[in-house]
Amino acid sequence: MPTPVPNDARELTKPPPWHGWVTADLFLSELSSGTFVVVAVGQLSLGASLERVTQVGFVLALGAIILDLICLVADLGDPARFFHMLRRLKLRSPMSVGVWGISIYAMFAFACAAMATARIGALAKTQLVVAAVGIVPALFVGLYKGVLFSTSAQPVWRDARWLGTELSVSAGIIGAATMLMAAMLVGANQPITPLRTVLVTLSAVEIAALALFLYAAAPEIARRLGRRRYLFVYGTIGLGGLIAPGVIAAVTAEPIALLCASMLALGGALASRHYLIILPHHDV
């Protein structure tokens, strides 16, 4: 007797063998790109008021993207596969385009971190130009993986056409939260107010991006998680990564409260990405 074919063809899709390494890869790439963009835009618009945290921000962005590349190579299982993809750019291969995009961004992150750390006056304008140009590959890194997931055949991901937008806005929140923590830790008071504004503004934008994401993906998420969807939606994405940090930053400027808001934003972002990666593995 032949095996019956499921009515929903999506159930024939085998979940990818992705777990911890890919969660770390996704989080670190967005932490790096979001931090780079926040620092670069801040440097272009605010100038000297971000001087004390510029070096810290670019070094953090560089460190995060290096760790991200390590996670990516570890997930591939063979370092030679990563370098093989750098031999030739294949525009029709999402993996090739992604590896090249991340590598190009890593070079900009390294250049900005090196010049900001050197603090050589003659390099100041060059560093500013490099940072301005580097915003483009940084935005690509923040957007790329969400778009890649949403164009795959995996349940949940394939339904989330706005996933790239949601993750890229979230990357900005991660970057603002990271720099807010850095500013408080190094005792730089001037950047705190603009960074608070960025965190609150991006949190408001994220509400719209998250609504678009959930509008498309909620039925499949509910199917797979059941009641556990409330932890995913309201806990990790909503209260942890979005609502609480934005509300706290909007109503108070107390350092301990802003530190808690930043930690909630980072913890919620990490948890939501973990859930996102494992969603296709949940049985229906």
What pLDDT sits at residue 10? Answer: 46
Convert the pLDDT of each residue in 187-207 to its tens digit: 888 888 899 999 999 988 888
> Using H for helix, E for strand and C for coil, what is the string for 182-213?
HHHHCCCCCCHHHHHHHHHHHHHHHHHHHHHH
Cα angle value 125/126/127 (rounded, 5°): 90
Q: Provide the token pair at 7.
A: 């009515």
Q: How confident is the model at residue 230 (pLDDT cuts 50, 70, 90)?
A: low
How much is the average pLDDT of 261-280? 84
Could you read off the pLDDT of 43-58 as tens digits, one per residue?
988 876 677 788 899 9
